[in-house]
Amino acid sequence: MIKCNNVQEQAQDLSAQMFERWHALLLGGDFVLGEEVTQFETWMSERCNGAHAIALNSGTDALFLALRALGIGPGDEVITCANTFVATVGAIVSAGARPVLADVGDDELISVDTLEPLLSARTKAVIPVYLRGRPVNIDAILDLCRSRGVAVIEDCAQAIGTTIDGCQVGTRGDASAFSMHPLKTLGGLGDGGVLVTTNLKIAEYARSVRNHGLENRNESVQFGINSRLDSLQAAALNIKTRYLDQWLKRRTEIAAFYDRTLCDTATGVDLGGGKPGNAYYHYVVKSTDRDRLQRYLAEQEIQTAIHYPIPIHRQRAWLSSQPQIVLPNTERLSREMLTLPCHHHLSDSDVERVVLAIKQFERLGARVAI
Ligand SMILES: Cc1ncc(COP(=O)(O)O)c(C=O)c1O
C-alpha cells in the first residue's frame, strides 16, 4: 500500500535517537518547561527570523492565546475560511468571539476579494489559513486589515517550511499559530504547537498564560491555562528539526514530478498552482468524479485522503450554533478535491505508480464500475 502519510515510518526511523534522548531526560528529571523546550523554542525563533516563539500544547491553543492576547472576545467578529480544520473556528468560539466565514478562490485560499465584503465595525481579526502549506497573499491581506485597524493572526498549522520571498511565513501578522501534531511535516509523537509573534506584549502574555500566570512556583500574576509543550515531545521535535529541510526538499521533488506528469490529465495538478514557497503539506488535485477516482486508487493500493469532506459551515457544531450560510466555491471544492500521497517516505516508483493509476482511471473512464 502506498500510504498518504508517513507518521509511523517517521517515528520508527528516528526511534533509536529518541529513546536515547528520552533516557537522558528520564535520568535528569527535567520534565516541565526545561532545556528541551527552550531548545525547541530557540530553533523555532531562528527559523522565524528571530521572532518570539512560545511552545504550547497545541496549534489550537496558539490560535486561542493569540486571540486572547489581542483582547478579542464576546461582541467581536473574526473572519476566517470554512475549508480548514475545525480548530481554526473552534479557537474563535472558545475565545467568545463570533466566527465569520469567507469563501475561497480556486486555489482554496482566502483572499482580499473574499474577505473584504465581510469586514464590519465588529471585525477585530482575520485568520488567513496557509492551507496545505500554500503561501497566502499575506501582504494584500495585511494592507487591507491594517487600513481598517483589524488584527491578522496567521494560521500556520500546516505551514512549517512555507516561505514568501525565501522567509518562513508566520511573522508578518500580529501573531501566528503552528501545529506540531503527529501528522504535520514537523510533528511530535503527540500534541504540540507554537505561537510565533514579533510583538513582545503578545509573547509575554502567551508565555505567562500558558503556565497559569505563574512567575515562580507559588506566585501567579494572572489566571491562565495549562498549555505547556511536554518535554518528551520537545525532545522528539529537537531530533526531527535536523531533518526537516531534507524532508521538505523531497516533498518539493515529488510535487514537481506530479506537476510535470499530471499537467496534461483531466485530474490536473495541485490546486495551489505551483507557486514558489509551497511546502506541500498536502498535494491536492480535483476531479468531478472524485469518489470513483479515490475508490479506483484504493483498489490499486494507493491511499488518498479528503481534507476536508465537510466544510465548517456544514458541521453540526456550526449548524447548531451559527446562522446557515452558503459558500459556493468551498462547497464545490469539498466535493472535488483529493489529497495524493506526498511525503519523504515515497520512492520514485511509488509516485510513478500514482500517476500511472490516475492516467489509467482516466483512460478507462466511464467504462469501469467502481
Ligand atoms: C489549519 C489548522 N489549524 C489549526 C490546527 C490545530 O492544530 P492542533 O491540532 O495542533 O491543535 C490544525 C491541525 O490540524 C490545522 O490543520
CATH (domain of 341): 3.90.1150.10
How much distance in Å is there from the Cα of 308 to the middle of ligand 1? 13
- The minimum-distance atom of ligand 1 relative to the CA of 183 is 14
pLDDT, residue 246, reads 98
How do residues 11-24 score in pLDDT, each as one tens digit?
A: 999 999 999 999 99
Asked whether residue 1 is assigned to any structural domain, the reply reads no
User: Among 240, 262, 282, which residue terminates a domain?
Assistant: 240
- 324 DSSP 8-state letter: -
pLDDT, residue 365, reads 77
> Can you give the residue range of the structural domain that contains 116?
7-240
3-class secondary structure, 12: helix
Same domain? 227 vs 261: no
Report the distance separating Cα 91 and Cα 62, nearest Å: 9
Asked whether residue 256 is assigned to any structural domain, the reply reads yes
How do residues 101-129 score in pLDDT, each as one tens digit?
A: 999 999 999 999 999 999 999 999 999 99
Residues 6 or more apart from 262 whose CB is under 8 A from it?
268, 269, 285, 355, 358
**Encoded amino acid at 156, one letter:** C
The finding on whether 280 has its CB within 6 A of some atom of ligand 1 is no
- 49 DSSP 8-state letter: T
Cell numbers representing residue 196 in the block: 510565533
**Encoded amino acid at 8, one letter:** Q
* pLDDT reading at 367 higher than 80: no
What is the CA 219 to chain-centroid distance, rounded?
35
Same domain? 316 vs 231: no
CATH number, domain of 115, equals 3.40.640.10
% residues pLDDT > 90 (the chain): 97
CA distances from 70 to 78, 148, 173, 201, 329 (A): 12, 15, 12, 9, 31
Q: Which of 218, 240, 190 is nearest to 57 (CA)?
A: 190
Asked whether residue 344 is assigned to any structural domain, the reply reads yes
Residues recorded for the chain:
370
Same domain? 63 vs 172: yes
In this prediction, residues 322-341 reach a mean pLDDT of 97
pLDDT, residue 366, reads 56
How do residues 82-99 score in pLDDT, each as one tens digit?
A: 999 999 999 999 999 999
Of the residues 54, 56, 57, 60, which should be mutated to test ligand 1's pocket, given the most ligand atoms within 8 Å of the CB?
60
How many domains, in total, are found in the chain?
Answer: 2
The finding on whether 162 has its CB within 6 A of some atom of ligand 1 is no
3-class secondary structure, 55: strand
The finding on whether 60 has its CB within 6 A of some atom of ligand 1 is yes
Same domain? 283 vs 210: no
Asked whether residue 82 is assigned to any structural domain, the reply reads yes
Of the residues 93, 132, 179, 195, which should be mutated to test ligand 1's pocket, given the most ligand atoms within 8 Å of the CB?
179
% residues pLDDT > 70 (the chain): 99
Same domain? 46 vs 137: yes
Same domain? 222 vs 301: no
Asked whether residue 340 is assigned to any structural domain, the reply reads yes
> What's the mean per-residue pLDDT of the chain?
96
The finding on whether 153 has its CB within 6 A of some atom of ligand 1 is no
Residues 6 or more apart from 273 whose CB is under 8 A from it?
107
- The minimum-distance atom of ligand 1 relative to the CA of 180 is 10
The finding on whether 59 has its CB within 6 A of some atom of ligand 1 is yes
The finding on whether 193 has its CB within 6 A of some atom of ligand 1 is yes
Asked whether residue 108 is assigned to any structural domain, the reply reads yes
How do residues 7-63 score in pLDDT, each as one tens digit?
A: 999 999 999 999 999 999 999 999 999 999 999 999 999 999 999 999 999 999 999
User: Among 220, 240, 260, which residue terminates a domain?
Assistant: 240
* pLDDT reading at 100 higher than 90: yes
H or E segment to which residue 369 belongs: none
Same domain? 263 vs 195: no
Same domain? 53 vs 70: yes
pLDDT, residue 70, reads 98
Of the residues 158, 180, 191, which should be mutated to test ligand 1's pocket, given the most ligand atoms within 8 Å of the CB?
158
Model confidence at 253, pLDDT cuts 50, 70, 90, reads very high
The finding on whether 311 has its CB within 6 A of some atom of ligand 1 is no
How much distance in Å is there from the Cα of 190 to the middle of ligand 1? 13
Ligand 1 atom 12: the closest Cα is on which residue? Answer: 157
Asked whether residue 350 is assigned to any structural domain, the reply reads yes
How much distance in Å is there from the Cα of 182 to the middle of ligand 1? 11
Same domain? 125 vs 92: yes
The finding on whether 155 has its CB within 6 A of some atom of ligand 1 is yes
User: Among 223, 240, 257, which residue terminates a domain?
Assistant: 240
pLDDT, residue 368, reads 61
pLDDT, residue 274, reads 87
How do residues 152-211 score in pLDDT, each as one tens digit?
A: 999 999 999 999 999 999 999 999 999 999 999 999 999 999 999 999 999 999 999 999
Same domain? 23 vs 77: yes
Same domain? 235 vs 250: no
Same domain? 226 vs 207: yes
Report the distance separating Cα 246 and Cα 198, nearest Å: 27
Asked whether residue 2 is assigned to any structural domain, the reply reads no
pLDDT, residue 231, reads 96
